[in-house]
Chains A and B, each alone.
Chain A
Amino acid sequence: MKEFLAFITKEFAHVFRDRKTLLMLFGVPIVQIILFGFALTNEIKDSNIVIVDNAKDIATQQIITKIASTDYFKIKGNLASADEIDKAFKSGDIKLAIVFPVNFYTDLLHTNKAQVQIIADASDPNTATTLTEYVKGIIADYQSQLSETMQTPEQIITNTRMLYNPDLKGAPNFVPGVIAMVMLLVCVMMTSISIVREKELGTMEVLLVSPFKPILVILAKAVPYLVVSLLNLTVILLLSVYLLDLPIKGNLLLLYSVSTLYIITSLALGLLVSTGAKTQQGAMTLSLVGMMLPTMMLSGYIYPIENMPWILRFISNAVPAKWYYIIVKAVMLKGLSFSFIWRETLILFGMTLVFLFLSMRNFKIRLE
């Protein structure tokens, strides 16, 4: 045990004396979160929109005038029919389209109900949400003006459609994505590099020759990165709560427990990488190309998995970050309890066992 502690102390020294790497480990997530928070509060101005006014009555004219008078929108044109909207979006610079049905004002007067459709380009989800909210606000404002003059309250139902990214991935989804990526960065890349560094330095030779169990060498390597990862998690959560106003809805302990499991999964992956790499450079390439890329592409954090071809959807099941991403979203954003995420947790657990088994089997008690 004393030996093990000495080992961990040494590993901490390596981590904390390498200032540049340490700065990167904590700097990258902080910068990402802050940049994102900044992007969120950024107001949008002069966005190009098109209008399909099938009613051309007094109400639609008033609403359009109201929209045009704000700084947010610039009306690029009036389209004759809804069929042209698609072309307008594909041509590029249109962010949003508003469709008024025929008889808008008559409906409003006679049935007290009228519909407006708002179609937004959600490939940039933050802008799309903001813009639709603005339009809704303008319509609601118009409605309240009408209500003052009329006896019965009218209702204008806004019907929103998000093009290209119907789930509106973005805003709150960003934080779980950053967490999943950073854990992977720290655990897989740093762990594998630090093990391979010992091979390159030649210190691994001396350690192997010592009576110290080789497997403990590897475990001792994992401890500091577990700690660094938990610290990182805390920093990200604090920032997201206090800077992005994104409250943690679920149980904090549950969040930390599943995160620890995910960190261990990543550490096991890091060990596996280290058994396959001979140089620090090799370990880095393997972690970046072999781990980071699939995680970014296939975890669902950037691109929705549902829209992928079946083969990619199939492969995405092997990406641990996918499951962790689902878990964090469920716990942090939706406030769900363990009974809703036990399947994903079990999958992560199983993956960890497989990675650990593979790396133990590939771990050499001798030199190659």
Chain B
Amino acid sequence: MNAITLEHITKTYNKGAVLAVDDVSFAVEKGEMFGIIGPDGAGKTSIFRILTTLLLADKGTATVAGYDVIKDFQKIRGIIGYMPGRFSLYQDLTVEENLNFFATVFGTSIDENYDQIKDIYVMLEPFKDRRAGKLSGGMKQKLALCCALIHKPEVLFLDEPTTGVDVVSRREFWDILKRLKAEGITILVSTSYMDEATLCDRIALMLGGKILSSDTPERVIKSYPEKLFAVKSSTMHALLKDLRANENVVQCYAAGEYIHFTLKEAGEANENILLKFLRDKHEKDLIFTETVPTVEDCFIRLLGKQDGGAGN
């Protein structure tokens, strides 16, 4: 059975003036970790709110754990855990008071479900008398997750849980999610960090209310149709300018320590022409290879297709 299904979901705001979600369909299997990857304004939050029964879609149907989001909203509200985009905590209550409160509201207690949150809560316990407003970003994020987990939800909705949180906390957070998934909880998570995509079972790349591509991260990467090249030299900025000036180069952008680009017409002959062109200018220390795309490369390619050559 699918834990989450969406069929042709469309959502507009301001009486149709703003199209937030545009005919989106996908399904998440039970026990799966599904990631919605996209920048701010892609429509991720609207999808979360529709699935958590907080918003009504204009068109389309959606179910969570087999229940219809409109008809059975009350049933859904009892069995899901939700962590909204801005970690929703009471800043003037302490860590323990926040957790206690949410536990009670969801009809349980910390003691009853302690095993569910134990792993995370031990990290928070030294600060349990501190007010939530005084916690660091990473700690707030963990507390918000505890609050969303305290009633043993079947499906967990995490809307941008790692935004504004540093790398160490982000990594810890994903480790926690992995463990939760192992316990059989279905997780729908959104992020604007491309590097987090590979940590999901399946991902949907989203932009402008539409899903551009949806599959396992491996297959999304495999579906990258062109050859992707990587170059670097000691004068990166000049190298980038030279590549952009070349007619055969389609998309070209900095990616970590390299510059990634694709060619209009690949083939050994063309590659050699380009290589020669670059060697002439950056002979000293040019490194040129073909490279395996990342999710980010896929995303940029799809973006480029959509608005006719972004990054160029």
Contacts and interface: CB of A to CB of B under 8 A. Distances in A.
Direct contact of A and B (CB under 8 A): yes
B56 interface: yes
Interface in A345-368: 365-367
A195 B74 CA distance: 22
Interface string B160-189: 000000000000000000000000000000
B36 to A, nearest CB: 17
A253 interface: no
Interface stretch (A50-58, A198-206, A301-309): A198-206
B88 A202 contact: yes
Given A3-B104, A206-B82, A367-B54, A10 B97 contact: yes
**A: interface residue count bin:** 20 to 34
A232 to B, nearest CB: 22
A80 interface: no
Given A210-B77, A212-B105, A203 B90 contact: yes
A101 to B, nearest CB: 71
A7 interface: yes
Highest count of chain A CB atoms <10 Å: which of B49, B82, B91, B104: B104
B105 A210 contact: yes
A365 B77 CA distance: 11
Contact of A366 (B53, B85, B89, B90): B53
Contacts of A206: 82-84, 88, 102, 147-148
B86 A201 contact: yes
B100 A14 contact: no
A9 B100 CA distance: 11
Interface in B102-152: 102, 104-107, 147-148
A202 B147 CA distance: 14
Contacts of A207: 105
B132 to A, nearest CB: 11
B90 A10 contact: yes
Contacts of B90: 10, 14, 201, 203
Given A6-B105, A209-B54, A202 B86 contact: yes
Contacts of B106: 210-212
Contact of A14 (B53, B78, B92, B105): B92
A6 B101 contact: yes
A18 interface: yes
Interface string B59-93: 00000000000000110011010111111111111
Contacts of A239: none
Contacts of A210: 77-78, 102, 105-106
Highest count of chain A CB atoms <10 Å: which of B54, B73, B87: B54
Contact of B89 (A9, A203, A365): A203
Contacts of B86: 201-202
Given A205-B82, A209-B77, 11 more contacts: A201-B88, A202-B86, A203-B88, A203-B90, A205-B84, A208-B54, A209-B54, A209-B82, A211-B77, A366-B54, A367-B55
- 4 tightest A-B contacts by CB? A6-B104, A202-B88, A211-B78, A203-B88
Interface of A: 2-3, 6-7, 9-10, 13-14, 17-18, 201-212, 365-367
16 contacts: A3-B105, A6-B100, A10-B93, A14-B92, A204-B88, A205-B54, A206-B84, A206-B147, A208-B54, A209-B52, A209-B77, A209-B82, A365-B73, A366-B55, A366-B56, A367-B54
